[in-house]
Every structure is written in structure tokens, then in C-alpha cells.
Structure 1
């Protein structure tokens, strides 16, 4: 996503991104315990006071890639609800999630480092899980709305878990490959196609 219009908003966006990238790179290199807020601020070229204007902790600086992460979820919900009516609910959700996956592919070095840092540090993993749970609630409600589900129906949560699982599997495989030989979008498409086919056993290679 491009920076927002307006000098002040653009400056805030760029400062957030500079701090987030610095935090990711330092933690991926040294480990969470060996990195301080002072280290992150210095690497981004700002003061510690400025750091705390943007993040509550170094963990947040690693996990929260964009300053408008809550608004991004709202926009994803809007795009999902605006998908053509002839699409199935699953296809509509896949179309929106594919855009999110493509964003990751635009900054492979940063996201590979972020995923490595999260995997190696339990505190970051738990923070990421909490963030994902916060984002899941409005998406689940939007799925229920589009599909016309009754309150308490299993379908919205199940669909989000299935498509989200395909996304997680694609990201994990992409990280294992160190972003080489394929794109995260191609892996996501492959995962979704496999799910849509009923998740058949892959061809045996031995």
C-alpha cells in the first residue's frame, strides 16, 4: 500500500515503517532479548521518545508492519463485501486475501525477516496471534453477512479458518524456501486450489 496523501500523514507513515523495518531486521539478526528500544530508534534515525509515539513496545514494532493496520482490516472487509455477487463466499474471501498476500510479496526481505523473528521468539508469536484474532472478528462477521448465516452458524469461522490456513501454509512454505524459486502468491493459489479440490493426497514421489 502506498503512503497516505498529505505531508504530515506521509511523514508519520514513513516513520512508522522505518521503525518497523529496523525492528524486524535487528531482531531477526540478534534475537528479541538482545535488541532494545534504543537500538531500534537509533537504526531508524529517531529518538526513543519518537519510538514510543508509534509503538508501545519493541514487540509491537516487529509485529505491526503498518500504522493503519486496523483500517486495513476494515478496508479488507469492505472489499470482501463489494466482491461480485456471482462469486461464492469462498472465492470472494480468496480474492481479498490474495491481495494481502501480494502485499507481502512486494517486500520479501522484510516479511521473511519478520516471520523468522516471530518463529524464534515466543513473545512475538503470541503478540502476532493476538493481532490475528482481533482481525478475524470483523472478517467472520462479514462472511456471515455475505453468506446470510444465522447467529451461531459454523460456516463463517470455518471458512475463515480454511482460507486463513491456506494463507498460513503458503507463507510458511515461502519462508522455508527463503522466498526463492516461487512467489508467495503462487503458493497461496496452489494451497487454495488444493483445498477447493477436497485436499486430495499429492502424487507420490517415492
Structure 2
């Protein structure tokens, strides 16, 4: 797999999307639920908090809760540090990529950035995200067993990233950066690079001040790999 920091440029200038009143209300409700869930679990412990407790604090019905989250786990931990689903896989497979690894970074970064920019329609979004990350870190410190939830979500996304690379390299062998390797080995290396970029960027958001933290992490990882003997 060819690694070149210039293959991972920032995806361009960002523009605040238009957010209507209905979506603004949904964003606020989502925030209220996440705020209630994380604060309650941090205060009482995970097992002592129910969906009903979260709904009571957020002043939301149980039915409304499940319009926003699939489970209590998701209301506390969100979708994890990466959310790559079947629709994302289909989008990747339908594209035309000269460098599939760079394209995967672009797609993940663009999705994260679009979501964050929409949330920026609410005041204090950046501060709220920092506080939620702090709470989640503290929850995991107090109850390490809950790390299994975060790991499971991450693993599901990375399995789909692998599936996307396998499908694309098979359908477009000319796009491979290391054709001298067996396909499965290039897939493994490609997934590994994406995984390390995602993990590094999520763990060091304090040092990545741009709106492209994933690409910033890719440059750090690439530089490190170049220095390996």
C-alpha cells in the first residue's frame, strides 16, 4: 500500500449548512437526551440508570427516546468514534477512487464534519462535545467493563470498512496501491491504516485544531511510518 501524506489533503473549506426549525428541535432533543444519559450514569452508575430515568430528566417520552436512540448504550456512548454503516459501504463501492485509502479517509471525515456542522447550529456545541467526551472517559474509568460496548461498536464499523475495501479492490484491481501483495494483505494494511488514524485522531483531539482531524492524524501516522527502519 502506498503511503503518501500528500494523498490525504484536507477536504476543503467548510460551510455552515442551513438548518430548519424542525431539525434544530431534533438536534436539541438529541442533545438533551445525551446530556441526561451521561450525567445520570456518571452520578449513579450504569446499572442504576434506566431509559425511563433518562426520559424523566430530559422531559421526553419513552417513545420519543427510541426515535433518537436504539438503546441506553447508544444514548450514553453514541455511535462510537466512527460510524460506518451499510449505506456508507454502498456509497464507497459506488465511487471512482484512484487511491481507495485516501478516499475512505475523505468519506469518513466528510460524514463526521457534516454532522458536526449541523450540530453547530446549537449554541455551545464544541463545549458540549468536550464535556460529553469527559463524562464518557470518566464513566469508562469508573466502570471498565463498559469498554466492551465501545469496542463492539468500533469493531462493527471496522468490519464494514474491511468489507468495503475487499469489494472495491476486487471490482477495481487497477486501484490497488500494492498489487504485488495478495489482495487480503492489502486489505488488512488498508484497514489498519484507517483504524490507526481514527484512533489517533479521537485520542488527540486537543492537538488537532482544524476541522480535518482525521487527515491531520493521517499525516502524523504517515510520518511515523516513514521513519520506521
Q: Same fold (TM over 0.5)?
A: yes
Q: 1:98 aligns with which of 102, 105, 109?
A: 109
Residue in structure 1 matching 2:90, options 75, 78, 96: 78
Q: Please name the residue that 2:215 is paired with.
A: 189
Distance 1:89 1:50, change over 3 A: closer
Instruction: Establish whether residue 133 from structure 1 lines up as the match of residue 155 from structure 2.
Output: yes
Please say if 1:162 is aligned against 2:193: yes
Distance 1:111 1:10, change over 3 A: closer
Which residue of structure 2 lines up, in the alignment, with residue 116 of structure 1?
Answer: 137
CA RMSD of aligned residues (A): 4.2
Pick closer, same or farther for the CA change 1:184–1:131 going to 2, 3 Å. Answer: farther
Q: Distance in 1 between matches of 2:108 and 2:63?
A: 35
Tell me the alpha carbon deviations over residues 111-149 of structure 1, each in whole angstroms, 9 at most, x when there is no partner: 431442564332432112112222222221111111228
Gaps of 5+ in 1: 202-206
Report the TM-score, using the length of structure 2 for normalisation: 0.61
Aligned length: 191
1:67-105 superposed Cα distances (whole Å, 9 cap, x missing partner)? xx98x612322332244332x111111111212442357
The runs of 5 or more residues in structure 2 that have no matched partner are: 1-16, 174-181
Aligned pairs (5 A) from 1:1-206 = 18-28=32-42, 32=46, 35-48=49-62, 51=65, 57-65=71-79, 73-86=85-98, 88-102=99-113, 103-104=115-116, 107-112=125-130, 113-114=132-133, 115-117=136-138, 119-120=140-141, 121-148=143-170, 153-174=184-205, 177=206, 182-183=208-209, 185-197=211-223, 199-200=225-226
Partner Cα separation in structure 1 for residue 162 and residue 86 of structure 2: 12
Give, in whole Å, the separation in 2 of the partners of 1:172 and 1:50. 32
With normalisation by structure 1, the TM-score equals: 0.66
Residues 85 and 173 (structure 1 numbering): CA distance in 2 closer, same or farther, change over 3 Å?
closer
Aligned 8 A contact 2:201 2:208 in 1: no
1:36-92 deviation line (CA, Å, top 9, x unaligned): 4343112221245654676575323212359xx98x612322332244332x11111
| CA distance, structure 1, for counterparts of residue 199 and residue 103 of structure 2 | 18
